[in-house]
Amino acid sequence: MTRRALPLLLLLLAAPLAARAVPPDLAAFAFHQHPGAQLPLDARFTDEHGAAVRLGALLGGGPAILVLGYFHCPNLCGVVREDLFSALDRSGLNTPGDYSLIALSIDPNETSADAASAKASDVARYPTPGADRGWHFMIGSAAAIAKVAGAVGFNDSFDAKLKQFIHPTGLVFVTGTGHVSGYLLGVGYQPGDVNAAVLRARSGGIARAALPVLLLCFHFDPTTGRYTLAILRILGIGAALFALTLGGLIAFAFASGRGRA
Q: Do the domain assignments include residue 128? A: yes
Is the pLDDT at 252 greater than 80? The verdict is no
Residues 238 and 181 in one domain: no
Q: Which residues contact 151 (CB under 8 A, 6 or more apart)?
A: 34, 37, 38, 39, 40, 180
The pLDDT, as a whole number, for residue 93 is: 97
Please answer whether residues 165 and 218 qualify as being in contact, where contact means their C-beta atoms are separated by less than 8 angstroms.
Answer: yes
- The CATH number covering residue 51 comes to 3.40.30.10
Beta-carbon count within 10 A of 26 CB: 19
Answer yes or no: is 18 within a domain: no
Contacts of 7 (CB under 8 A, 6+ apart): 220
Q: Are residues 174 and 195 in the same domain?
A: yes
Cβ atoms 191, 73 nearer than 8 A: no
pLDDT, one tens digit per residue, over 170-184 is: 999 999 999 999 999
pLDDT at 226: 42
Tell me: pLDDT of 18 over 80.
no
> Do 177 and 250 sit in the same domain of this protein?
no
Question: Would you place residue 218 in the very low, low, confident or very high pLDDT band (cuts 50, 70, 90)?
Answer: low
Taking the alpha carbons at both ends of the chain, their separation in whole angstroms is: 46
pLDDT of residue 214: 53
**Do 232 and 197 sit in the same domain of this protein?**
no
Per-residue model confidence as pLDDT tens digits over 182-192: 999 888 899 99
pLDDT of 237 > 70? The answer is no
Contact 82, 2 (CB under 8 A): yes
**Domain count for the chain:** 2
15 in any annotated domain: no
Domain shared by 244 and 202, yes or no: no
- Give the model's pLDDT for residue 106: 97
pTM: 0.76
Q: Does residue 163 share a domain with residue 83?
A: yes
Q: What is the pLDDT of residue 180?
A: 98
Q: What are phi and psi of 154, to 5 degrees?
A: -100, 125
**Lowest-confidence pick of 10-14, 124-128, 186-190:** 10-14
Residue 149 lies in a domain: yes
Domain membership of residue 82 (yes or no) is yes
Q: Which domain holds residue 233?
A: 228-260
Closest to 113 in 3D by CA, of 49, 44, 69: 49
Residues 62 and 144 occupy one common structural domain: yes
Do 69 and 197 fall into the same domain?
Answer: yes
Residue 25 predicted with pLDDT over 80:
no
Query: What is the chain's percent helix, strand, coil content, to nearest 5?
Result: 40, 20, 40
- If asked whether residues 189 and 233 sit together in one domain, one would say no
Domain assignment of residue 172, yes or no: yes
- Average confidence score pLDDT of the chain: 81
Lowest mean pLDDT among 34-48, 162-176, 247-261: 247-261
- The answer to whether residue 1 is domain-embedded is no
pLDDT digits (tens, 9 = 90+) for 51-93: 999 999 999 889 999 999 999 988 888 889 999 999 999 999 9
CA 167 to chain centre: 9
- The answer as to whether 83 is a domain residue is yes
Whether residues 107 and 164 share a domain: the answer is yes
Contact 257, 45 (CB under 8 A): no
pLDDT tens, residue by residue, 83-106: 999 999 999 999 999 999 999 999
User: What's the pLDDT at 9?
Assistant: 41
The answer on pLDDT for 220 being more than 80 is: no
Same domain, 123 and 168: yes
pLDDT at position 5 is: 38
Does 12 have pLDDT greater than 90? no
Q: Are residues 179 and 232 in the same domain?
A: no
Instruction: Print burial letters for 211-236: b (CB count within 10 Å at least 16), e (below 16).
Output: ebbbbbbbbbeeeeeebeebbeebee
